[in-house]
Amino acid sequence: MSTLFNLSGKKAIITGSSKGIGKATAMRMAEHGAKVVITSRKIDACIEVANEINNKYGSDTAMAMACNISDKEQLEKLHSTSVDWCGDIDILVCNAAINPYFGPSLNTPDSAFEKIMRSNVQSNFWLSNMVLPTMIKNKSGSIIIISSIAGLHGSSLLGAYAISKAADSQLARNISVEHGPHGIRANCISPGLIKTDFARALWENESILKTHTSKSALKRIGLPDEIAGAVIFLASEAGSFTTGQNIVIDGGEGETV
C-alpha cells in the first residue's frame, strides 16, 4: 500500500508553505519522498521550515524562496529558480490566499476585491500555466488548489473571498478537461474551519467556533495535517484516476441539521 502514496523523485512547489496547511503539506510530501519548494512572502519563515525539513529528511529535500503571489514577475522567478534547483515540477499546490476584507459585500472596497481576485485566482492561473508546459511534455502532473467551503454556498461576510474560492474550483475543472489527455490531473480541496493562523479570527472567537463545530458531524475544528493527507492522495498514484474534483473536508458540516 505504501507505494500508492510514494512521491520519491517528484518535485513540488507549495505556495503559502511557511505555516498552516501549506507547511503540513510540505512536511508530508517530504516524508513521502518529494523535493519541496517552500515559499511565502517572508523568507525567514520559509528558511525555518526548509531547515526543519532538511534536518529531518535530508539536506537537499527543501528549498526556501520568498514570493508575493500577486506579482507575476515574482511567480516567474519562483518557477524558474525552482526548476534550476530540482528540475521539472511534477506537483503544484496552490495554497496561499488572502482575505483583506471581512464584512458585507455591499461595503467591499474595490481595492480589496481586486487584491483578493489577483492573489486567490489569477496567481493560481499564472502559476499553473507556468508549470503546465513541462507537465505536458512529461505526460504527467498534478495541480492541487486549496479552495474553501466558503466557495460552495452564499456568505454574508466573506463575499469576495467566497467568489474567489468558487473560481478556484472552476480553474481546476478547466485544467483537468484541457490537459487530461496529457496525463495531467487538477483538483481542488475545500476545507472547512481549520486551526490555522489564517482562520485565527474565527476559531479564537468562542461564539463563532461553537457555531461552526455544532453544525458538524465531528463537533470539532480541523487540523492542517488533516488537509495535507488529502493533498498527498491527489499528488500520488493513489489519486491517479481523480481529476476535476472539489473534495470537501469539513468534519461533516453539511451532514447535520
Q: Would you please indicate which residues are annotated as catalytic (active-site) residues?
A: 161
Strand partners, 144: 93, 187
> Which runs of E-coded beta strand occur in 147-240?
184-191
Is the CB of residue 136 less than 8 Å from the CB of residue 179? yes
| H/E segment holding residue 66 | strand 62-66
Residues 180 and 159: their CA atoms lie apart, in Å, by: 31
Residues 250 and 28: their CA atoms lie apart, in Å, by: 20
CA dihedral over 36, 39, 43, 48, signed as positive or negative: negative
Inter-CA distances, 87 with 11, 57, 75, 79, 84, Å: 7, 19, 16, 10, 6
Pairing type for strands 246-249 and 62-66 reads unpaired
Number of Cβ within a 10 Å radius of residue 34: 26
- Whose CA is closest to 240, among 179, 190, 184, 170? 184
Residues 169 and 149: their CA atoms lie apart, in Å, by: 11
